[in-house]
Amino acid sequence: MKKDNNYSVPGFLASAVSAGLKKNGKMDLSLIFSQKKAVGAGVFTTNRVKAAPVLLSQERIKKGLLRAVIANTGCANACTGIQGLNDAIQTADIVAKGLGIHPEETVVASTGVIGSYLPFNLIEKAIPNLIKNLSPDGFRSVAEALMTTDSFPKMSYFKGNVGGCPFHLLGLAKGAGMIMPNMATMLSFLITDIHIDSETLWPIFGSAAECTFNRITVDGETSTNDMVLIMANGVAGNTRLDRSHIKEFERGLTDVMGELAYMIAKDGEGATKVIEIEVHGAATKDDANTAARSVGNSNLVKTAVFGQDPNWGRIMAALGSSGIKMEQDKVQIWIDGIKVVDGGLMTSEQEERKAAEKMKNEQLTITINLNQGRWKDRIITCDLTYDYIRINAGYRT
Amino acid sequence: MKKDNNYSVPGFLASAVSAGLKKNGKMDLSLIFSQKKAVGAGVFTTNRVKAAPVLLSQERIKKGLLRAVIANTGCANACTGIQGLNDAIQTADIVAKGLGIHPEETVVASTGVIGSYLPFNLIEKAIPNLIKNLSPDGFRSVAEALMTTDSFPKMSYFKGNVGGCPFHLLGLAKGAGMIMPNMATMLSFLITDIHIDSETLWPIFGSAAECTFNRITVDGETSTNDMVLIMANGVAGNTRLDRSHIKEFERGLTDVMGELAYMIAKDGEGATKVIEIEVHGAATKDDANTAARSVGNSNLVKTAVFGQDPNWGRIMAALGSSGIKMEQDKVQIWIDGIKVVDGGLMTSEQEERKAAEKMKNEQLTITINLNQGRWKDRIITCDLTYDYIRINAGYRT
C-alpha cells in the first residue's frame, strides 16, 4: 500500500495493535474514534444467526449517534450466547470509559471463527495501548488489522465540496469469504466530516449499501457478522445540505463503497479474476437480481472463468434453473463485448475463440439480455479456484 | 465392477458402442430395448433451458408407452434450437426403424457439453452396430457408456415377488456434476418385467424420484438434460397388482433409485466423502427441505468437511441465511452422533475433537434439530475439493 493511501478525515483518530488474538502476532484489534459528537448509521447481516457484536451494535446505532468503533479479528463472537453479549458490552464499556464518551455511542465489530468465546482478558489488556496510540494517521493500520484471509488492506477516499465547504469521506473494509451480502456484508467502516443529520444519513447510506456491498458475492454465503457503519462528525462546517449537496455526498458514498465492494470481490478467497454479471431485459426487478445472482453464484460458471473457458452453456443452465421468466430462444450473451449467444444459440466458434482470448484478462464482464422486459441489475463476483478450497478446508487448522 | 453385477431383466436387451463422440475412443452410445410392448414413465429437469432430447422425450412419454432409449455422451444437444430437435427426432427414427417399433415409443437422452450440435453422422453410422449387438447381458456396458466425469459405472438391482410371480428391477445411472435435482437429475434408466399399467406406474415412480434423486446435490446446479426413465414390460406375468404388491414394487423402486442416487453423490465431481444432512424439528415441510439444501449446498460447509474440520459455525451460518424460521438458541447439531451444538452453543472442545475424529470417515451424517416443529427432511451431498475445480476448470479443454 502506497504512502499516499494514508488518508485522514478531520476530527477522526484511529489506531491498531496486536492483542494476541491472531496466532501470528499480527495486528488484530483496532479503534476508530470521533473527537466530536458524530451521527452514525449502519447496515447489518440478514443472517438469522447474528453474532453478539451485531446484536449489540444494531441496537445501539438505532439512536443515530456513534463516536467509537472497536473491531477485532480472530474471533467472531458468534454463537456465544449471553456470555458473548456480555463480552461485547464489556469491551464497549472499557473503550467508552477510556475515551470519556457514553457507552451508547460505542459499538463493537468482530470477525473470525464462529463459536469460540472472545479472549476478553487479551482485549481488556490491549485497550489502554489502543487508546494511547490514537492518531489522525492511524487508518492504514486499522485497514491492516481488519484483514483475515484478505490479501490486501482495503481503503477508499473521496473529497467533495458542499456549498463551499470541502468534506472528506474515508472507507475501510475487509473481505474475503463468506460473502453474499444479502444485506450488508463483511466489515466496513466509513467516516466523514460532513455535517448531516441522522434522518438524512440513514436512507442515503442504506441505498448506497444496496447498490454496492449488496451487489457482490464471493461464495453465496452470508456471514453472521457483517456490518457496515458510517460516522459523520460535522467538522467540515457546512451549515445545511440542499438537494445538490446531498447528490454530491451520495456520489462520494457510492464511489467509496463501490470501490471497497469491488476490492472485496477482487480479493475473494482464492480469486484470480473479477467477474461483473450484467443482466438486461428482465421481466421484473426481482428477476434481474435473481438472474445475476444465479449466474454469479454458480460454481460451474466460476470454475469455467478460472479455466478461461467461454462455456456459455453453463450460463444458460444457471439462468434456466434460477426460476425467472425466460425464453431460451431469446437469450443473448456477451463475454467482454464478444457476442457468444444469440437467440439462445452459439453465434460461432470464431466468436467463442475471441471470447476465450478476452478471458485471459483479470477482469471480465458477462452481459446477458433476457429480452423479456426493461429491468436490469448487476452483481460483481470472482472465479472459484483451488485456493478457495485450500483456504476453506484448512481455515481453523 | 464385479462380474456378478452383470444383471439382466427378462425381455430387455442392451448394447453400447463407441461412435466416436468421445475423443478417447471409449463407449459413448448405448441402447436399451424392450422386446415386448412396455409402459414407461419419466421425470425431467425443471431447468427452463431444456435440451432437445428432454423436449422430445418428455413429449413422447406422456402417452405412457416406451420400448427403446438411445443415449449418447459427449454432447448434450442443448441450446441447439430446431436443428438439435431434428437431430434428436432423426436419431429416434433410425433406431425405431432398425428395431421395427414405432418412433413414438423411442426416446433419446444426451449428456455432455452444452451448445454443440450433435455429430449426427457419427450416430447414424453407429446405430446398425448398436442394434446388432443387443443382448440380455449388455447392461453393464450401457452403464459404462453413460459415464462422463463419473469415476465408476452405476447399477442397482432388486428382485421381488408379487403374488407368486418373481419380478426384477434394474437401474442404471450417470452423475457426477451439475447435480441438484430440483426434479429429476442426471440420466437414469430403470427397467422391470413387472406387469403394471401406466396410470399406476407414474405416481409411484414420481414419488420414488422425489425421495431419492431429488434429495441429492453435488454442486447446486440443475442440468439442462436431466432425465429418469422407467420401462415395464410385463414379462413377469403377474396378473394384477393389489395394494401389498404395489408396496413391494415401491420398496424395490426406492431401494434401487436410492442406491443409484447415493452412488451419484459418492461419485460427485472430486468428492472424497458422502455427507448426509438430516434436518429435524422444522416448522414446515418446506423449511425442512430448505434448511437441508442450504447446508448441503454451502461451499463453506463442504470445504470444511473436506478439511475434516467440525466447523459447526458454518452450519449455523448456512441455516441462518436460508430464510427458514429458526431461533439460534434452540439449535442442536450432531456430527455422526457426536453432539457439537446444544442451544446454539458449542457443547465442548472435547466433543469437537471426537467429531473431528469421525470426520476421517468416507461417510458422514450431519444431524440438525431446529426444535421449531415436527417436520424433517434429508439431503445427500459430498464435499468440495481441489478436484472439483480441476474437473470443471478444464472440462472442455
Nearest residue, CB atoms, A316 vs list B79, B309, B394 = B79
Question: Smallest Cα–Cα separation from A111: which of B217, B60, B317?
Answer: B317
pLDDT at A88: 97
Confidence of residue B210 (pLDDT cuts 50, 70, 90): confident
- C-alpha A96/C-alpha A15 separation (Å) is 15
Confidence of residue B181 (pLDDT cuts 50, 70, 90): very low
Confidence of residue B270 (pLDDT cuts 50, 70, 90): confident
HSE-CB for B92 with a 13 A CA cutoff: 24
What Cα–Cα distance (Å) separates residue B299 from each residue in A46, A178, A330?
19, 9, 32
pLDDT at B97: 97
Same domain, A105 and A248: yes
More confident residue, A144 or B48: A144
Same domain, B24 and B173: yes
Confidence of residue A174 (pLDDT cuts 50, 70, 90): confident
ipTM over 0.85: no
Question: Smallest Cα–Cα separation from B378: which of B206, B263, B210?
Answer: B210
pLDDT at A186: 76
User: By percentage, how much of chain A surpasses pLDDT 70?
Assistant: 94
Same domain, A262 and A278: no
Same domain, B242 and B161: yes
Task: Provide the domain count of chain A.
Answer: 2
State yes or no: pLDDT of B183 exceeds 50. no
State yes or no: pLDDT of B185 exceeds 50. no
pLDDT at A219: 65
User: By percentage, how much of chain B surpasses pLDDT 70?
Assistant: 94
Least confidently predicted of A24-33, A191-200, A236-245, B335-344 = A236-245
Nearest residue, CB atoms, B224 vs list A303, A306, A320 = A320
**How is B217-260 classified by DSSP, letter by letter?**
-SSS-B-SS-EEEEEE--TT------HHHHHHHHHHHHHHHHHH
- C-alpha A333/C-alpha B192 separation (Å) is 44
State the distance between the two ends of chain A, measured CA to CA, in whole angstroms: 29
Overall average pLDDT of the A255-267 stretch: 88
pLDDT at B218: 67
* Residues facing residue B368 across a β-bridge: B279, B333
State yes or no: pLDDT of A3 exceeds 70. no
User: Residue B200: in which H helix or E strand, if any?
Assistant: helix B198-211
- Break chain B down into helix, strand, coil percent, rounded to 5: 35, 25, 40
Give the mean pLDDT of chain A. 89
* Residues facing residue A15 across a β-bridge: A31
pLDDT at B219: 65
Cell output for A260:
471497497
pLDDT at B5: 65
Confidence of residue B326 (pLDDT cuts 50, 70, 90): very high
**How is B22-91 classified by DSSP, letter by letter?**
STT----EEEEEESS--EEEEEE---SS--HHHHHHHHHHTTSB--EEEEESSB---S-HHHHHHHHHHH
Residue with cell 471497497: A260
Same domain, A350 and A367: yes
The 10s digit of each residue's pLDDT in A322-337 is 889 999 999 999 999 9
Looking at B216, B232, B266, the residue that finishes a domain is B266
The 10s digit of each residue's pLDDT in A208-229 is 988 888 888 766 666 778 888 9
Give the contacts of A46 (CB within 8 A, at least 6 positions apart). Answer: A182, A183, A222, B321
Query: Cα-flanking dihedrals φ and ψ of residue B169, to 5°?
Result: -140, 120
Nearest residue, CB atoms, B221 vs list A317, A329, A386 = A317
Cell output for A168:
472528506
Q: What angle do CA B258, B284, B288 make, to 5 degrees?
A: 40
Same domain, B130 and B15: yes
Question: Alpha helices, DSSP H only, in A212-298?
Answer: 243-266, 285-296
How far away is chain A from the Cα of B165, in angstroms, using its nearest Cα?
Answer: 43
pLDDT at A190: 93
Overall average pLDDT of the A53-69 stretch: 94
- How large is the C-alpha radius of gyration of chain A? 22
Q: Is B109 helix (H, G, I), strand (E, B) or coil?
A: strand
Contact A303 B345 (CB under 8 A): no
Least confidently predicted of A264-278, B59-73, B93-107, B217-231 = B217-231
pLDDT at B243: 87
State yes or no: pLDDT of B6 exceeds 80. no
Contact A49 B78 (CB under 8 A): no
Find out whether the peptide bond into A265 is cis, omega within 30 degrees of 0: no
Cell output for B47:
431447468
Of B91, B185, B224, B381, which one is the catalytic site residue?
B185
Contacts of A81 in chain B (CB under 8 A): 329, 343-345
State yes or no: pLDDT of A230 exceeds 50. yes
- C-alpha A318/C-alpha A295 separation (Å) is 5
Q: Does B185 qualify as catalytic in the annotation? A: yes
State yes or no: pLDDT of A140 exceeds 70. yes
Question: Packing angle between helix B312-320 and helix B299-306, nearest 10 degrees?
Answer: 170
Q: Are B19 and B28 in contact (CB under 8 A)?
A: yes
Same domain, B222 and B299: no
Same domain, A13 and A94: yes
The amino acid at B153: P
Confidence of residue A12 (pLDDT cuts 50, 70, 90): very high
Looking at B220, B241, B266, the residue that finishes a domain is B266
- C-alpha A381/C-alpha A292 separation (Å) is 10
What's the pTM value of the predicted model, to 2 decimals? 0.78
Overall average pLDDT of the A166-182 stretch: 74
Residue with cell 456477451: A334
- C-alpha B394/C-alpha B397 separation (Å) is 5
Contacts of A307 in chain B (CB under 8 A): 392-395, 397
State yes or no: pLDDT of A319 exceeds 80. yes
pLDDT at B355: 95
What Cα–Cα distance (Å) separates residue A308 from each residue in A35, A388, B75, B87?
50, 17, 20, 30
Strand pairing report for A106-110 and A68-72? parallel
Most confident of A259-273, B102-116, B118-132, B249-263: B118-132
Overall average pLDDT of the B272-291 stretch: 94
Q: Are A120 and A91 in contact (CB under 8 A)?
A: yes
Same domain, B205 and B325: no
- C-alpha B24/C-alpha B22 separation (Å) is 6
User: Residue B191: in which H helix or E strand, if any?
Assistant: strand B187-192
Contact A396 B311 (CB under 8 A): yes
Give the contacts of A232 (CB within 8 A, at least 6 positions apart). Answer: A38, A39, A40, A191, A192, A193, A194, A195, A196, A201
How far away is chain A from the Cα of B183, in angstroms, using its nearest Cα?
Answer: 11
Q: Which CATH number covers residue A107?
A: 3.60.70.12
Q: Which domain holds residue B147?
A: 3-266
pLDDT at A44: 87
Same domain, B173 and B294: no
Confidence of residue B4 (pLDDT cuts 50, 70, 90): low
The 10s digit of each residue's pLDDT in A108-136 is 999 888 888 999 999 999 999 999 999 99
- C-alpha A391/C-alpha A139 separation (Å) is 27
Same domain, A255 and A282: no
**How is B321-371 classified by DSSP, letter by letter?**
TTT----GGG-EEEETTEEEEETTEE--HHHHHHHHHHTTSSEEEEEEE--
In a mutational test of the A interface, the residue from B54, B75, B79, B370 whose CB has the highest number of chain A CBs within 10 Å is B79
- C-alpha B47/C-alpha A322 separation (Å) is 8
Cell output for A258:
463501490
Q: Strands across the sheet with A227-232, in order?
A: A39-44, A227-232, A187-192, A165-174, A154-162
Query: Cα-flanking dihedrals φ and ψ of residue A333, to 5°?
Result: -135, 135
B13: Cα separation from own chain's centroid:
22
Confidence of residue B264 (pLDDT cuts 50, 70, 90): confident
What Cα–Cα distance (Å) separates residue A19 from each residue in A68, A111, A147?
18, 14, 14
- How large is the C-alpha radius of gyration of chain B? 22
- C-alpha A188/C-alpha A261 separation (Å) is 9
State yes or no: pLDDT of A138 exceeds 50. yes
- C-alpha B238/C-alpha B300 separation (Å) is 51
Confidence of residue B182 (pLDDT cuts 50, 70, 90): very low
Looking at A217, A235, A266, the residue that finishes a domain is A266
Contact B395 A309 (CB under 8 A): yes
Contact B223 A47 (CB under 8 A): no
Confidence of residue B394 (pLDDT cuts 50, 70, 90): low
Q: Which CATH number covers residue A283?
A: 3.10.20.340
Confidence of residue A4 (pLDDT cuts 50, 70, 90): low
Residue with cell 450473451: A333
Of A73, A148, A149, A185, which one is the catalytic site residue?
A185
> Nearest 10 degrees: CA dihedral of A320, A322, A323, A326?
-40
- Give the chain A residue nearest B342 (alpha carbons): A79
- C-alpha A3/C-alpha B34 separation (Å) is 77
Contacts of B317 in chain A (CB under 8 A): 47, 49, 78, 114, 178, 221-224
Same domain, A370 and A351: yes
pLDDT at A270: 81
Contact B300 A345 (CB under 8 A): no
Contact A224 B317 (CB under 8 A): yes
Cell output for B10:
427378462
State yes or no: pLDDT of A1 exceeds 50. no
